[in-house]
Amino acid sequence: MCSSSSTARFRPFQETCTRNPIYMQALAVAQHVNTVVLKVHCSLPFRVLGVQYFISMTRPPKAQPSLLFRQLFEKESSTYTYLLADNAHPDRPAVLVDPVDKTAERDAALVEQLGLKLLYVMNTHVHADHITGTGILKNKIPEVRSAISRASGAKADLHLNAGEKIYFGNLYLEVRPTPGHTKGCVTYVTGEGPDQPSPRMVFTGDALLIRGCGRTDFQGGDASQLYNSVHSQIFTLPKDTLVYPAHDYKGHTVSTVGEELKLNPRLSKDEEEFKRIMKNLGLPYPKMIDVALPSNMVCGVQDPVAT
Ligand SMILES: [Fe+2]
C-alpha cells in the first residue's frame, strides 16, 4: 500500500502505483530508508508518499576571485612595485604596493590599459633610497587612497594597524608588523582560504630580501627586532609562500619562505650571529636619505603644479 501520509492531491497517482509491482518494490525500499535525495543542490525539499525529494534549482555560480598580478621594476633604486587586482570582480579593483616616483606614470598607464580601478597605493615603509610614487598617482587618480602603517608616523589617507585586512574586490592583503629595518615597516600577505591566491604571497618590503635583508642602522632600525619580526611574522607562513621583496640587486624576482629559511645567509643564522653580521656590514651613508625621507613622510604628496 502507498503511504497513508500522502495527500488527496496525489491519490490518482497513488492508485496507479499500487497496480505497478515494480513501483511498489521501489517504494518499499524508499520507505525503509525514508529519505531519497535525488539531488542536493540549492534544494527545495518536499515529501511525497513518505519519500523526500529535493527540487534542484539552477543558481549562477559565484564568481571566484581571480588575481591579476604584475611585478614592476624601477632600475635606479632596484625597487619592485607590485600591482594586484581582483580580475573576476566587475570593477576590477586594484592596489599598488611600493610605487616609485620615477615610474609612477608607467604604473598609472598600466592601470588604465588593463581597465583596473586603483583603490589604494600601499607603502611597506618610509623608504630612504627613493621617493614614493604615491603623490604622483594621487594627483593622476584623485580617488586613490594612500596607505602606510600607523607606526611609521608618516602622513597618509589610511593608517594601517596589525592584522587589518585591506580588501580589493573579494581578495585582500593582511597587514603584519615587521619593524627592525625601520620602526614602521609592515609586510603585506595575501589572504588565507579557498577563495584567496594559492600559494600565498608575501610582500616583505625591506624586512626580508632574497638572500638578504634591509639595513638596521637608520630610521629606528634594530637588528634584534628585525630578526624577531621576520621569524615570527614571515617565517611562520607556509613554506611555499612566495616572497616578493621591495628590492633586488642581483636579478632575483621571487623566492619562497622555505627557501629563505634555509638559504638566507643572515636570517637563517641564530639571533646573536645575525646581530653580529648586521653590526659589521660597514655600509655607506644612504645617498638619497636626506631627500627621500622628508618626501616619503608625507607619502610623496606633491603640491599641485601651478599653471
Ligand atoms: Fe627601506
At residue 41, the pLDDT reads: 39
DSSP 94-113: EEEES-BGGGHHHHHHHHHH
Confidence grade of residue 28 (pLDDT, cut at 50, 70, 90)? low
Average pLDDT over residues 54-58: 49
Instruction: Give the residue among 96, 61, 55, 60 at the shortest CA–CA distance from 79.
Output: 96
Q: Looking at per-residue confidence, does 4 or 129 come out higher?
A: 129
Cell of 80: 619592485
Residue 66, Ramachandran bin (φ over 0: left; ψ between -120 and 50: alpha; else beta):
beta
Chain Cα centroid distance, residue 109: 23
- Using the mean position of ligand 1's atoms as its centre, give its distance from the Cα of residue 177 in Å: 15
At residue 301, the pLDDT reads: 77
- Using the mean position of ligand 1's atoms as its centre, give its distance from the Cα of residue 21 in Å: 82
Cα–Cα distance measured from residue 60 to residue 76, given in angstroms and rounded to the nearest whole number: 49
Collapsing DSSP to helix, strand or coil, 163 comes out as coil
**Does 17 score more than 90 pLDDT?**
no
Q: Looking at per-residue confidence, does 69 or 282 come out higher?
A: 69
- Using the mean position of ligand 1's atoms as its centre, give its distance from the Cα of residue 218 in Å: 10
**Does 2 score more than 80 pLDDT?**
no
> CATH 3.60.15.10 region(s) of the chain?
67-296
**Does 4 score more than 60 pLDDT?**
no
Instruction: Give the residue among 249, 155, 267 at the shortest CA–CA distance from 207.
Output: 267
Across the chain, mean pLDDT equals 85
At residue 304, the pLDDT reads: 44
**Does 202 score more than 90 pLDDT?**
yes
Fill in the amino acid letter for 241. Answer: T
- Using the mean position of ligand 1's atoms as its centre, give its distance from the Cα of residue 57 in Å: 55
- Using the mean position of ligand 1's atoms as its centre, give its distance from the Cα of residue 127 in Å: 4
Average pLDDT over residues 272-301: 90
Looking at CATH, the fold of the domain delimited by 67-296 is given as Metallo-beta-lactamase; Chain A (3.60.15)
**Does 303 score more than 90 pLDDT?**
no
- Of the candidate ranges 16-20, 137-141, 166-170, 257-261, the one whose mean pLDDT is the lowest: 16-20
- Using the mean position of ligand 1's atoms as its centre, give its distance from the Cα of residue 151 in Å: 15
Confidence grade of residue 53 (pLDDT, cut at 50, 70, 90)? low
Cα–Cα distance measured from residue 236 to residue 180, given in angstroms and rounded to the nearest whole number: 17
Average pLDDT over residues 20-43: 45
Q: Using one digit for the tens of pLDDT, what is the confidence trace for 208-251?
A: 999 999 999 998 999 999 999 999 999 999 999 999 999 999 99
Cα–Cα distance measured from residue 265 to residue 279, given in angstroms and rounded to the nearest whole number: 15
Cα–Cα distance measured from residue 185 to residue 100, given in angstroms and rounded to the nearest whole number: 17
- Using the mean position of ligand 1's atoms as its centre, give its distance from the Cα of residue 144 in Å: 23
- Using the mean position of ligand 1's atoms as its centre, give its distance from the Cα of residue 290 in Å: 13
**Does 14 score more than 50 pLDDT?**
no
